[in-house]
Amino acid sequence: MERRAPRARVVVVGYQWLLPPTIGCAPQMPVAPGDVPYLRSLQRTLNTSIASAAAETDTTFVDMSVVSEGHDGCQAVGTRWAEPLLFSDQFVPVHPNAAGEAAMAAEVEKALAS
């Protein structure tokens, strides 16, 4: 890639929160209450690993964890950036919706501007 686009800047976007910090929202996200903090810690570990890999390869990492707090799949339509597993407003549940994609794009634009 460097040969084809020597001035290209590579950006990798971390995962936004799928669940709230401590308590889930069954039945939309059917996760046992005690597993919610555990799954959040796994997601934090995943984002940390991605950030480390980005740093090792001179890639810009865009951390979505701070800006996505309060926009997880348990939130109401219009607030959430990720859709719940059940009763989703889009075909692919537990993935970013249009608002989540727009938020990621805004964070990438900020990163590219710096």
pLDDT at 114: 86
- CA separation for the pair 23, 35 (Å, rounded): 9
Average pLDDT over residues 31-56: 96
- pLDDT-derived band at 1, boundaries 50, 70, 90: low
Q: What is the pLDDT of residues 67-113, one digit of tens each?
A: 999 999 999 999 999 999 999 988 899 999 999 999 999 999 999 99
